[in-house]
Every structure is written in structure tokens, then in C-alpha cells.
């Protein structure tokens, strides 16, 4: 995918990318997308996040196994083998970002909604990635195997994992996303069907 500088084009071309080339994501590129994430808004500007960045092949393979198990559970499919998991999206992505957020009541932080204070950062990260020509996809199926994944990654009880975001150079070309026209999503002044 080509880099994009025009912001409306960026929104139009933000896609779920699940196949990646076997090409590294440099520290500089990674830093840029994490910079974008940290500029996101959060409730009372508490910035209650921590971004766990996974690059180690063994860690990604273990996580991929849990993710594929979660996917299989959700779809009612048989459990994957270790080999299948190692060929999966999470294992094959050069980088996987796990955006984590503190949980109100478990830290003393209050006054914000957990998801509302982390998903804007996820979107910033993904849009910055796309602007650079990188692909990503926001995934939440891992939550089915939350306990195992939190134990695997050492995520403390005071944090929740909001997503797994694989990140890398896309393995194929992608057209623009397909969404309903704005008229179908909007009503003015009063609710209407
Ligand atoms: C809350 C949420 C959860 C998602 N979870 C997953 C997931 O677990 N696995 C996955 O492959 N994609 C996941 N996606 C990606 C969506 O399937 C994708 O964004 C949607 O189909 C639109 O794709 P497009 O942008 O390429 O048109 C998720 C997206 C959102 C917003």
C-alpha cells in the first residue's frame, strides 16, 4: 500500500489488514505510530494506557495459539494445532501491539469509561500506521482467552487488554473500505429511522 497524506483519503483507505509481508517494521516507524497513540484523548486526560509491543517470535507464536483457540471457540471449530497457530495472523505479523488500559476501581482512577479511554488511541495508532503504508487490524476475539493471555504476557490485574493489533507491511493490495453512505447513519435534531 502507498503512503497517504490526504486525511480524507486516509479514512477511506483504512482497512482491516490480516496478511503481512515478511519484512521488519523499524524502530522509527514503530515509534511514529506509538507517538500517534499517545496523543489520543482519554477521560480527564488520565492517559490510563500501556502499550505492550510484541516482536519476539516465540511470544507471538504462543499468543497466536491462544488467539486461534479463541477464534475456533467463537466459530465452533476444532482447536488449532500448534503448527496452524504458527501460520496464523498474530504469529506472522512482524509486530503485535496490545493496548492495555487501567480499570476504574482497581487503581483509584475513576471518572472514565475503560474502552472510551483506549480505543481512540488504537484508532490513532492504526491511522498513523496506514498513513505510512502499514497495515493493521483491531481484534478483540482474544478476550475469550483473556485469562490465559494475561498470564502469558504478565498483564497485571489492574489492567485490561483492549485489543491485539497486528502490524506490518501488507501482503497484498487493498481497495478503499466499503461503508454505508452517511445519510444512513445520521439523523438530525430527533431520532428517525
Ligand atoms: C471492535 C472490533 C473488534 C474486531 N475484532 C476482530 C477480530 O477479533 N478478528 C479480526 O480478524 N478482525 C476483527 N475486527 C476487524 C473487523 O472485522 C473489520 O474492521 C471490519 O470487518 C471492517 O473491515 P474493513 O475495514 O477492511 O472494511 C474487529 C473490529 C472491531 C472494530
Domain boundaries, given as residue ranges, for the chain: 7-185
- The mean pLDDT of 121-134, rounded to a whole number, is 98
Which letter, b or e, does each residue of 44-76 get, where b requires 16 or more Cβ atoms within 10 Å of its Cβ? Answer: eebbbbbbbebeeeeebbbbbbbbbbbbbeeee
Instruction: Name the residue among 155, 178, 45, 153 with its Cα closest to residue 106.
Output: 155
pLDDT at 4: 77
Our answer on whether the CB atom of 130 is closer than 6 Å to any ligand 1 atom is no
**Of 28, 152, 40, which is closest to residue 101 (Cα–Cα)?**
40
| Confidence bin at 5 (pLDDT 50/70/90) | confident
Ligand 1 contact, 15 CB (< 6 A): yes
In contact, 93 and 19? CB cutoff 8 Å: no
Res. 103 pLDDT band, cuts 50 70 90? confident
Residue 80 DSSP label: P
Residue 141 CB–ligand 1 contact under 6 Å: yes
Of all protein residues, whose CA lies closest to atom 23 belonging to ligand 1?
16
pLDDT, tens digit (0-9, with 9 covering 90-100), for 46-84: 999 999 999 999 999 999 999 999 999 999 999 999 999
Q: For ligand 1, atom 17, which residue shows the shortest CA distance?
A: 16
At 96 the three-state DSSP class reads: strand
The architecture of the domain spanning 7-185 is: 3-Layer(aba) Sandwich (3.40)
Q: Does residue 179 have its Cβ closer than 6 Å to ligand 1?
A: no
Amino acid at each position: 500500500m502507498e503512503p497517504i497524506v490526504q486525511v480524507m483519503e486516509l479514512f477511506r483507505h483504512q482497512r482491516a489488514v490480516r496478511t503481512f509481508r515478511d519484512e521488519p517494521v523499524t524502530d522509527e516507524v514503530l515509534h511514529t505510530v506509538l507517538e500517534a497513540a499517545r496523543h489520543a484523548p482519554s477521560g480527564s486526560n488520565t492517559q490510563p494506557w500501556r502499550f505492550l509491543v510484541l516482536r519476539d517470535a516465540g511470544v507471538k507464536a504462543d499468543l497466536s495459539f491462544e488467539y486461534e483457540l479463541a477464534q475456533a471457540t467463537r466459530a465452533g471449530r476444532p482447536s488449532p494445532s500448534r503448527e496452524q497457530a504458527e501460520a496464523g495472523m498474530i504469529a506472522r505479523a512482524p509486530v503485535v501491539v496490545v493496548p492495555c488500559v487501567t480499570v476504574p476501581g482497581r487503581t483509584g482512577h475513576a471518572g472514565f469509561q475503560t474502552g472510551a479511554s483506549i480505543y481512540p488511541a488504537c484508532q490513532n495508532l492504526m491511522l498513523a500506521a496506514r498513513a505510512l503504508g502499514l497495515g493493521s487490524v483491531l481484534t478483540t476475539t482474544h478476550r475469550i482467552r483473556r485469562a490465559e493471555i494475561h498470564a502469558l504476557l504478565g498483564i497485571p490485574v489492574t489492567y485490561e487488554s483492549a485489543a491485539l493489533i497486528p502490524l506490518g507491511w501488507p501482503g497484498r493490495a487493498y481497495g478503499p473500505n466499503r461503508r454505508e453512505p452517511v445519510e444512513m447513519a445520521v439523523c438530525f435534531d430527533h431520532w428517525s429511522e
